[in-house]
Structure 1
Amino acid sequence: MIWSAELRRAVRSGRAVVLLGLYSMFSALVLLVVGWLTAQVRNVVLQQLANADADTTANATARINEEMRKGVLGIFTSNDSALVEALAQVPLEVLIVFKITLFFLPAYIALMGFDQISGEVGPRSIRYLTVRARRSSVLLGKFLTQASLLLGLVLIIDLAIFVYARIANPDFGFAAMGLNLLKFWLAAIVYSLAYVALTTLCSCLFRVPAVSLVFNFILMFVFWLLSTIGQAPGNTDSSLRFLRYVSPSHYAGDLLHPGLAQFGTSGAAYAGFAFVFLMAAYGILRARDL
């Protein structure tokens, strides 16, 4: 009941429109910049081959495009041959935009739900809920509301990106578009689970929503720092490399992997992080004087 009531209120509020506009503008900006850079590279290649005969130009252009594609895929997939093959049909614009937006998605999630609990704990309006429902129900209802709203917003943006990619790349068929849209959307949702739960935890810690937001950003920076230190080339033989395993972002690389074991490991990691954060949030909310 709390989930459905909060979701209806969130959908009718102006915040959902603002969040959709913010996410769409950022994604559109990244997509336009990536598309422009890709077009510039292709134009440079064509200009360099302009003096060659038509057959040679066509073959060389295709070969250069393929090598450039493999190079970019190698960077984003850590040269995993199975993952490179699975993403062979996906336009580079989609891959680059997905990776960039995935990096900023935790911040977007924090802006979306930083006041989901603290916004009612501060003015003590949450007491009207807790006298009629268990605190665990209130917590889970708030969490599911943000997760459901995020699910819809990400689907809208991903659909727009794939439609653009379909128009810009005629060889990107509808079957491949539909299948990869589902894969990318599912990967983004699994990735978001831990960060939605983290936002819920931060919102339970403080009575002031602004403090919850700032603390949420601090924790995200700490997780990013741990992942960066753990993945640094100089730490391959050091005990510091184990720091990456305590950061949710470390497990994002296999969310698009065709192997069930690799995807399952990443999915289980994000589910585990979400469970730990939600249990911590419940413990705090249960002990708090409302």
Structure 2
Amino acid sequence: MDGLKETLVIWSAELRRAVRSGRAVVLLGLYSMFSALVLLVVGWLAREVRAAVNQKLAEAGGADADTSARFAEEMRKGVLGFLTSNDTAMMEALAQVPIEVLLVFKVTLFFLPAYVALMGFDQISGEVGPRSMRYLTVRARRSSVLLGKFLSQAALLVGLVLIIDLAIFIYARIANPDFGFAALSLNLLKFWMAAIVFSLSYVALTTLCSSLFRSPAVSLVFNFILLFVFWLMDTVGRASSAVDAASGQQEGALRFLRYLSPSYYAGDLLHPSFTEFGVSGAAYAGFATIFLLGAYGALRARDL
């Protein structure tokens, strides 16, 4: 059996086991509850802001409906500009998307790497620890086992993200009657693809962490440590660049740290330009490749 067939067999077996297990249901419930909580909080804040604005306008002399509508549109453009870093092309492309969807998408992207870590922290270490991995590697290459498990986790994540994104967009359609079916379908596909491109590199990172240790608990802790390090690199790099640009001085050396963090490239995943999206997609593909190569090196050198 060649490598491709071995990978497909392991992928299908692992995916069936993951779907039939209770973990898939728990993960779906966890992701659903978190997304629903964020959506409800964002919706409540939006309603409170609109109510406060309408009250201020009424106290100022009873503005007409057109004035209120224009003020609301200006507020929407301000929030949209903040979420897109005032990128004109992105603002035009996302003009029809409800703000609630954009805010939930931004918040969930921040927590999605942790969710991915919880989903697959034991994909390799769960079998290396009890030494059941040796029965797989007798019948298949280690690279096939690694790729099969990675693809099964990726496929499960693709399905879970699609279910949650579909629910969010349906809610947005109900809450915003002017959000048409054509715009809903197009943006659902766009947001789903952006989340998948973003998360696959973190699935590869989880595979790497799971390959480095025999204990699933240690793999999970190390995974969270790496996520924090990447977040810190992105935050410090952005802050260094922003402070130096504001002072008019030459940018500091720490600004380069942001380029080493996967989260830095998330900003252009919804960009309408293929070039901008392609750069971000290529960056995530590069991170995923590096993590998988590291995982293969660790698994190949390990005594199973």
Matched, 1:211 2:211: no
Matched, 1:22 2:30: yes
Q: Which moved more, 1:40-49 or 1:100-109?
A: 40-49
Contact 1:114–1:200 (8 Å) recurs in 2: yes
User: Per the alignment, in what secondary structure is the counterpart of residue 58 of structure 2?
Assistant: coil
How big is the shift at 1:52? Answer: 7.7
Superposition pairs of residues 99-248 of structure 1, within 5 angstroms = 99-232=106-239, 233-236=242-245, 237-248=251-262
% identity of equivalent residues: 78
Aligned match of 2:71: 64
RMSD of the TM alignment (CA)? 1.1
* Matched letter for residue 285 of structure 1: L
**Cα distance in 2 between the residues matched to 1:204 and 1:127:** 14
Aligned match of 2:264: 250
User: Per the alignment, in what secondary structure is the counterpart of residue 170 of structure 1?
Assistant: coil
Corresponding pairs, count: 289
Task: Provide, for residues 10-58 of structure 1, a one-character-per-residue CA deviation record: whole Å limited to 9, x for no partner.
Answer: 000000000000000000000000001101111122223336888x421
Matched, 1:280 2:294: yes
Aligned match of 2:284: 270
Using the size of structure 2 for normalisation, the TM-score is 0.93
**Cα distance in 1 between the residues matched to 2:54 and 2:84:** 28
Contact 1:34–1:93 (8 Å) recurs in 2: yes
Aligned match of 2:43: 35
Using the size of structure 1 for normalisation, the TM-score is 0.98
Task: Provide, for residues 94-130 of structure 1, a one-character-per-residue CA deviation record: whole Å limited to 9, x for no partner.
Answer: 0000000000000000000000000000000011100
**Cα distance in 2 between the residues matched to 1:141 and 1:35:** 40
Equivalent of residue 80 in structure 2, options 73, 90, 98: 73
Contact 1:50–1:57 (8 Å) recurs in 2: no
**Cα distance in 1 between the residues matched to 2:38 and 2:44:** 10
Aligned match of 1:10: 18
User: Per the alignment, in what secondary structure is the counterpart of residue 49 of structure 1?
Assistant: helix
* Matched letter for residue 274 of structure 2: L
User: Per the alignment, in what secondary structure is the counterpart of residue 50 of structure 1?
Assistant: helix
**Cα distance in 2 between the residues matched to 1:216 and 1:53:** 57
User: Per the alignment, in what secondary structure is the counterpart of residue 90 of structure 1?
Assistant: coil
Structure 1: give runs of 5+ residues left out of the alignment: none
Task: Provide, for residues 122-146 of structure 1, a one-character-per-residue CA deviation record: whole Å limited to 9, x for no partner.
Answer: 0000111000000000000000000
User: Per the alignment, in what secondary structure is the counterpart of residue 123 of structure 1?
Assistant: coil
Contact 1:77–1:84 (8 Å) recurs in 2: yes
Q: Which moved more, 1:62-71 or 1:233-242?
A: 233-242
**Cα distance in 2 between the residues matched to 1:100 and 1:57:** 35
User: Per the alignment, in what secondary structure is the counterpart of residue 13 of structure 2?
Assistant: helix
How big is the shift at 1:229? Answer: 0.6
Question: Which portions of structure 1, spanning 4 or more consecutive aligned residues, are displaced by more than 6 angstroms?
Answer: 51-54
Structure 2: give runs of 5+ residues left out of the alignment: 1-8, 246-250
**Cα distance in 1 between the residues matched to 2:35 and 2:23:** 18
